[in-house]
Structure 1
Amino acid sequence: MAGLREKQKASRNKAIVKAASLLFKQNGYEAARIGEIAERAEVSVGTLYNYYDSKAELLMAIVSMEVEEVLNQGAQVLDQPHDSAPEAICHLAALYYDHSLVYLTKEMWRTAMAFAIQHPDTPFSHRYRMLDAALTDQVTQLIETLQRAGLLRPEIEARAFGELLFFSLNSLFVTFTVKEEMTLEQLKTALARHVAAACA
């Protein structure tokens, strides 16, 4: 019985998060209303508040879902054979970029980034930084994998290089979210230039 309740709870949570993602994308984060999200998720407003205290918490749940999915997909990239270090790094980063607009818009990303920066001591900001750290860890793991494969020099400090690459791909992503006219292909082209320079 307890197992059934947990499944129902998880299903309800997923419905709420997906409804919030859809309405934030359709109406914009600021314009979306909790009542509309609850209606779309087919739950009462009271039930929604049992899961999330605010729209900001819902936004972070969406960001978390997005990052957790790309981390799972990225793990597969680490297990694949690669012909070169730049190709492997760009492959992983392209996966991050391609998935970035599945649940969020550029406006939603800007809102999440602003929350994380403006309120550094909040659970929202702590969670956002934890997700960035998890992505940095995965990039570092890829560097270590490439070193073992002989595609990067073994004397390179993997952690420092992984952080450098993540800071670069993250900075480019911030630029992408700020420039509405910038496409994913332009973003990936810019990244390829950065990675080629770093790996030269």
Structure 2
Amino acid sequence: MTGLRARQKADRNRRILEAATALFRDAGYDSTRIEDIAERVGVSPGTLYNYYENKGDILVAAVSMEVEEVLESGKSIVEAPPKSALDALQALIDLYFDHSLVYFSKEMWRTAMAISIQQPESPFSRRYTELDARLCDQVSTLIQTLQMQGVIIPGIDAVAVGQMVFNNLNMMFIEYVKDDAMTLETLKDRVLRQNRPLVQLIGQPMI
């Protein structure tokens, strides 16, 4: 019974997050009420408050759901990357960027980022930060995999390179969500341009 209750709770939590993100996207974060989310899920507002104290907690928790899905999807690229270092990096980064719009609009991302900065010690903000670190680790693992395959030159600090790549893509994503006019393709093109000279420096020369 304990396992069943845990699954039921996890399922209800996911339905809350999916309903909330749909409402935030359609009606706007500020206009959406806790009561609207509860009604969409088919639970009482009191039941929803058993999971979250406020809308901000729900939004930041939804970010964690998004990142967990991205991490899972990225595993296949890390385990069997394209043979080109640039292609491998871009495949993983494009996956991150593409998935970022599955649940969230730019306005939602801006709000979630602001909440996580304003309330860094909340359990949901801490979870968000932890998962962000795992994304960084996944990029570093990709660099390590490419190095073991002889695509990246030996002696390079693969973890540090992964951190550099992740920090840059993270900064560029922030620029993207700040600019309503910037398209996803523009974001991808800019990051690709920035990664190209890095790969030329660390890539194994072709024989």
- The interval holding the TM-score normalised by the smaller chain is over 0.9
Q: Displacement, 1:127?
A: 2.3
Q: Residues 150-189 of structure 1 correspond to what in structure 2 (within 5 A)?
A: 150-189=150-189
Change (3 A) 1:124 1:10: closer
3-state secondary structure, aligned to 1:101: helix
Higher mean displacement: 21-30 or 74-83:
74-83
Write the distance in 1 (CA, Å) between the matches of 2:28 and 2:115. Answer: 16
Q: What is the TM-score of this pair, normalised by structure 2? A: 0.92
Task: State the alpha-carbon separation in 2 of the partners of residues 69 and 17 from structure 1.
Answer: 13
- Across the aligned residues of Structure 1 and Structure 2, the Cα RMSD in angstroms comes to 1.3
Q: Which residue of 2 aligns with 1:7?
A: 7
Post-superposition CA distance 1:11-58 (Å, at most 9, x none) = 211111111011011111111100000000011101101111111110
- Give the aligned partner of residue 22 of structure 1: 22
Query: Who is 2:112 aligned against?
Result: 112
Give the unaligned 5+ runs of structure 1.
none
Number of residues of Structure 1 aligned to a counterpart in Structure 2: 200
Unaligned stretches of 5+ in structure 2?
201-207
SS at 2:71's partner residue? helix
Contact 1:115–1:124 (Cα < 8 Å) also in 2: no
Map of 1:44 onto structure 2 = 44
Residues of 1 paired with 2:157 and 2:22: CA distance? 42
Instruction: Determine the C-alpha separation between the residues in 1 that align with 2:121 and 2:70.
Output: 26
How far 1:196 sits from its partner (Å)? 0.3
Matched residue, 1:143: 143
Contact 2:143 2:152 in 1 (8 A): yes
Query: Which deviates more, 33-42 or 111-120?
Result: 111-120
Give me the whole-angstrom Cα distance separating, in 2, the residues matched to 1:81 and 1:193. 20
- TM-superposed CA distance for 1:157, in Å, is 0.5
CA distance in 2, matches of 1:16, 1:125: 18
1:62 counterpart residue number? 62
Quote the sequence identity (%).
51
Aligned counterpart, 2:90:
90
Give a deviation string over 1:141-190, Cα, whole Å, max 9, x none. 00000001111111111111111000111111001101111111111101
Instruction: Specify the code of the residue in structure 2 equivalent to 1:77.
Output: I
Shift of 1:2: 2.9
Task: Quote the Cα distance in structure 2 between the aligned partners of 1:114 and 1:3.
Answer: 36
Sort the Cα spacing of 1:120 and 1:2 in 2 relative to 1 into closer, same or farther, 3 A: closer
8 Å contact 1:64–1:131 — kept in the other structure?
A: yes
- Specify the alignment match of 2:205 in structure 1: none
Instruction: Please show how residues 73-84 of structure 1 align to structure 2 within 5 Å.
Output: 73-84=73-84
Partner Cα separation in structure 2 for residue 20 and residue 110 of structure 1? 16
C-alpha distance in 2, partners of 1:79/1:131?
A: 19
**Change over 3 Å in CA distance of 1:190–1:34 after alignment to 2:** same
* Change over 3 Å in CA distance of 1:126–1:160 after alignment to 2: same
